[in-house]
Structure 1
Amino acid sequence: MDLALLRTFLTVYRAGSFTRAAPLLGLSQPAITGQIRSLERQLGRPLFIRGARGVTPTTVAEELAHKAAPHLDALLAITEADLDATSPTRTLHLTGPPEFTGLRAMPALAPLAAQGVALRASFGSAEECLTGLAAGHHDLAITTARPRGEELAATPLCDEEHVLVTAPRWAARLGGPAVVHAKGAPALDGVPVIGVHETLPLLTHYWNTVFDSAPDRSGAIVVPDLRAVLECVTTGAGLAVLPRYLCRAALDSGEVVALLDPPVPPLRTYFLAIRAGTLALPHIARAHEWLLRAAVHW
């Protein structure tokens, strides 16, 4: 049984009203109604009788509250204790795409380790990250998809610029950026494509935005890590679309070359997502603030 549903149930039970429970949980009243209904479906019994002035618990609710409250209160006391000299180390669970999380988010949060916050990172797709966040497996999620619904909230974190890059020898063979600019996508025919997924999401977005067309090609090399894609590009294996932050050093050193400099470069927005109400926990609020502050310079 989902602990989040039990916490919502216990808060409503104690508040005596969905309306009064809403600000305590940081949820809307419809979201609370949905959670209680979900719990009732799992139990197969009604938990509350709705009235004009609130709700009255059923005998099933009375029994559930009596059994669950001591254990849930103990868990909440552990997870919501303030950081101080006598409290145990708090653990922050962050999830997001591997490259962005590893190269940007975790270094930004690293100083928190000296303040009593243990950091744990996991990687996944946007859907996996948001699903895990909603289930309580993570405290914060960095994702390229804005979550929907009442249970998750998201703040835009930063925009990521995408660059079409290849090795210098390929750029010379193509005639350089001027030729690519003049001929468009057809100038790139015959150059192998390197991507992170069979669907070539970054390349497809770039083609749609810059060339106003869909790429008619498949990946010659597919490896699920943008850092590995960059390494393949630098060896002369072909072309790729990469975030500028990831390939900036390679561009500056001349290991790779940008094939175009469009006036409006393709962008991808990252969002910082949380479960509603969890910013009341000091270690999550602190990490959330640090990431937003660091993202100003990204």
Structure 2
Amino acid sequence: MDLALLRTFVTVHRAGSFTRAAALLGLSQPAVTSQIRTLERQLGRPLFLRQARGVTPTTIGDELAHKAAPHLDALVEITESGLDDESSLRTLHLAGPPEFTAERALPALTEPAGDHGQGFALRASFGTAEETLEGLSAGHHDLAISTARPRGALLTATALCDEEHVLVAAPHWAEEIGSVKLNRENAHVLDRVPVVEVHESLPLVSRYWASVFDSRPTASGTVIVPDLRAVLACAAAGAGLAVLPRYLCAAALKRHDVVALHEPAVPPLRTYFLVTRTGTLAMPHIARAHEWLLRAAADWC
């Protein structure tokens, strides 16, 4: 079987679209379509179901991708690194949310280097869970940190750590609310406080309200900024309340720049996953980074 056909097939499977796969491969869409049809004729089975937007793999398509993808990735690794492993430094491409990657992952991957180097060059990019997993599937990244567990067999996820979420605001907002102990019945007292969030949909605040108060927030976002570090800065400046990971706001809480408005018995948690393409942990530089992150995460929880 022609390996070029398998490479095209795996790229389509990961991209979910002939058009996106063509762009990744540097081919025309008709060429990609022709190669997939050729492979389907050779196998005597359909590999994809064509839809209005993109394609969905058949059961046979999923099985073939699961078997072929790790081997194709290994072949690409060999051709990119060359026969002499010592002749060049491998590059690890890491993707994840900006705050967690900057505050947690990157220090964990650079600290072990010491005087002898870490054994790989490092390139990091930031994005949403959807963006990072899509980029990982398409081969743009080697390792991804995501708050969403991926589906399917082409990506393998390992739970990395849980982060605790804290409802915080500047001290003067706590004084305005008073000493009332917040619960489901009186959570409405927070309606008078502006909200600082990362998105108009208020993902962190909504998750906190649903988990702790069994309700939905009624306020809209007053300040929307797509970085939790900026959210913390705005909250400390008095812009309003925010829901933040405890690791990110622990120092600000200690300095009393912000205060916790509520300390529930069971705080909301969010899980981070360390994700690779299935089979790529056989590559030493990816396996090393994976191990370092898991080891560091033991101290994060």
Whether the TM-score (by the shorter chain) exceeds 0.5 is yes
Q: Secondary structure at the residue paired with 1:44? A: helix
Does 1:250 find its partner at 2:217? Answer: no
* 2: CA distance, partners of 1:199 / 1:135: 28
Which residue number corresponds to residue 189 of structure 2? 187
Deviation, 1:5, is 3.9
Deviations 1:198-232 (A, max 9, x none): 00000000000000001112100000000000000
Q: Is the 8 A contact 1:109 1:290 kept in 2?
A: yes
* 1: CA distance, partners of 2:140 / 2:5: 11
Deviations 1:140-178 (A, max 9, x none): 0100100001110100100010000000111011113x4
Deviations 1:88-140 (A, max 9, x none): 11100000100000110010001355133111110111111100000000000
1:174–1:116 CA distance, 2 compared to 1 (3 A): same
Aligned residue pairs, count: 247
Q: Normalising to structure 1: TM-score of the pair?
A: 0.76
Which residue number corresponds to residue 128 of structure 1? 131
Deviation, 1:179, is 3.7
Q: Which amino acid aligns with 1:222?
A: I
Which residue number corresponds to residue 156 of structure 1? 159
1:142–1:73 CA distance, 2 compared to 1 (3 A): closer
Q: Secondary structure at the residue paired with 1:213? A: coil
Does 1:270 find its partner at 2:268? Answer: no
Which residue number corresponds to residue 77 of structure 1? 78
Q: Which amino acid aligns with 2:127?
A: G
* 2: CA distance, partners of 1:219 / 1:128: 24
1:155–1:83 CA distance, 2 compared to 1 (3 A): farther
Which residue number corresponds to residue 92 of structure 1? 92
RMSD (Å), alpha carbons: 2.8
* 2: CA distance, partners of 1:77 / 1:106: 26
Does 1:143 find its partner at 2:136? Answer: no
Specify every segment of 5 or more residues in structure 2 that has no aligned partner in the other structure, as ranges: 11-31, 45-72
Q: Normalising to structure 2: TM-score of the pair?
A: 0.75
Specify every segment of 5 or more residues in structure 1 that has no aligned partner in the other structure, as ranges: 10-38, 51-71
* 1: CA distance, partners of 2:168 / 2:154: 39
Out of 197, 200, 206, which is 1:198 matched to?
200
Which residue number corresponds to residue 26 of structure 1? none
Q: Which amino acid aligns with 2:77?
A: L
Which residue number corresponds to residue 101 of structure 1? 101
Q: Is the 8 A contact 1:179 1:187 kept in 2?
A: no
* 1: CA distance, partners of 2:187 / 2:103: 31
Which residue number corresponds to residue 6 of structure 1? 7
* 2: CA distance, partners of 1:182 / 1:116: 52
Q: Which amino acid aligns with 1:45?
A: T
Deviations 1:22-73 (A, max 9, x none): xxxxxxxxxxxxxxxxx776443246357xxxxxxxxxxxxxxxxxxxxx99
* 2: CA distance, partners of 1:8 / 1:112: 38
Q: Is the 8 A contact 2:168 2:260 kept in 1?
A: yes
Q: Is the 8 A contact 2:168 2:259 kept in 1?
A: yes
Q: Is the 8 A contact 1:155 1:271 kept in 2?
A: yes
Q: Secondary structure at the residue paired with 2:110? A: helix
* Deviates most, 288-297 or 41-50: 41-50
Q: Is the 8 A contact 2:183 2:213 kept in 1?
A: no
Out of 160, 163, 168, which is 1:165 matched to?
168
